[in-house]
Structure 1
């Protein structure tokens, strides 16, 4: 099982999931994005390797990792990691995939105000396309921690947040106006593994309506695509105090796919 983190969050965020899934008999991995260091502190100290990294480069890195495994893996991703998971599934690489609050694929036209506001720290400055960008605690609280009390939001920021490349946000924001956009997948594709989309009703960064729009696009495929929605959760759902409910629902869904 391979976990894919999202923008502004280090791969260490998956550690509780890895411990849980290891106990269930899975062999788990959580490799970082190109340019990430091994720890949060080291990535904060030198994020220069992230500058200019885009969706295709991230996808290629995970595709290479999957190719080095002995058998097809289950992949689980959050936010832009969810988008990467969808692209890997479109390439036919994983056995199954779970995308939690996935960043929008090309073709999704819903643009809620909260989504636009959460991306402004990057997209408001075109030069950020070539840079690594860091969120402030206040920006993190709006984009990730709005469904939490501020103390928990700030603690997650201190423990898990890292700089992230600006390029993926530009690629997603302008995908519908870009031929061969990096966020393109074929939602009608047959023969792929099953996909679970997970949406959060209080999510500012990837609002529920965006994930539901993706689900409608995937409905044109004969392959399995399911949707779970949490009405009271925000973008931090897979790594805040309520992570276990999301993980347990993921395990239950995976068990149903193997029947």
Structure 2
């Protein structure tokens, strides 16, 4: 019997190799996990930092199509696990019916989500402070990373995470998400009414600055017209680094247990 495929999708500013502990854990639990990067993202952190232009101007639709093509080559519909904008992409793909289920962790806001807390604006200011950044790749300084990702861990651990995993990220997805509720055909739109999709787990970090919990609870409400399984799990003391910091295993093991409860 073949192992169920799992596809990990990273978000902005964090390289996909940061999923390595998750991939190892999921494989040890009988899955066949992979973590391919966004289109244009180099295979290593060092190479991604050295060539920011390769990721510049990549938008939500382009990233979604990239992962849809990867899914099409798999032996069966995979489970998707996405963080931040990867969580949004996972929801878009799940809504189209190409995945068996999804876990969206601190997922970027989809169309229809209205709250925009000040901390989220502050965390994304490095991109929004210059309109030209829509077509550029933008890096976070150590201080900016500390606010956006590492606010619930020690300064030492935040620095270590920044040094290990931080890469330039395209500004375009943030501009697209910000304009979602003013655009009829926004790329941030998700088919939240699909009753035939697989189960979805939304995960919120209670102290997340970049995607505050209110965004995730508002996302849950967008699914109220679907009879498909949609659940929310909060980790009250966790920030946006919850998939990569020293507490990652708690989140990963919850996701594993939830998937098993769903028969996945």
Same fold (TM over 0.5): yes
Select 1:122's aligned residue among 109, 120, 127: 127
Q: Which residue in 2 is equivalent to 1:49?
A: 54
Gaps of 5+ in 2: 1-5
Tell me if the contact between 2:96 and 2:191 (Cα under 8 Å) persists in the aligned partners.
no
Alignment of 1:119-198 (within 5 A): 119-198=124-203
Q: 1:81 & 1:218 partners in 2: Cα distance?
A: 18
Q: Which residue in 2 is equivalent to 1:58?
A: 63
Q: Which residue in 1 is equivalent to 2:88?
A: 83
Alignment of 1:80-119 (within 5 A): 80-119=85-124
In the TM superposition, what is the alpha-carbon distance from 1:51 to its structure 2 partner? 1.2
In the TM superposition, what is the alpha-carbon distance from 1:237 to its structure 2 partner? 0.3
Alignment of 1:162-241 (within 5 A): 162-241=167-246
In the TM superposition, what is the alpha-carbon distance from 1:33 to its structure 2 partner? 0.4
Q: Which residue in 1 is equivalent to 2:45?
A: 40
SS state at 2:189 partner: coil
Q: 1:109 & 1:230 partners in 2: Cα distance?
A: 22
Gaps of 5+ in 1: none
In the TM superposition, what is the alpha-carbon distance from 1:219 to its structure 2 partner? 2.1
Tell me if the contact between 2:39 and 2:55 (Cα under 8 Å) persists in the aligned partners.
yes
Q: 1:164 & 1:181 partners in 2: Cα distance?
A: 20
Please list every run of at least 4 consecutive aligned residues from structure 1 whose deviation after the TM superposition is greater than 2 angstroms.
none
Deviations 1:32-89 (A, max 9, x none): 0011000000000012111110000000000000000011100100000000000101
Q: Which residue in 2 is equivalent to 1:258?
A: 263
Select 2:29's aligned residue among 24, 36, 59: 24
Q: 1:51 & 1:179 partners in 2: Cα distance?
A: 25
Q: 1:124 & 1:85 partners in 2: Cα distance?
A: 28
Q: TM-score, normalised by structure 1?
A: 0.99
Q: 2:186 & 2:117 partners in 1: Cα distance?
A: 21
Aligned length: 259
Q: 1:129 & 1:19 partners in 2: Cα distance?
A: 35
Deviations 1:176-199 (A, max 9, x none): 111200100121111001000000
RMSD value, Cα: 0.8
Q: Which residue in 2 is equivalent to 1:12?
A: 17
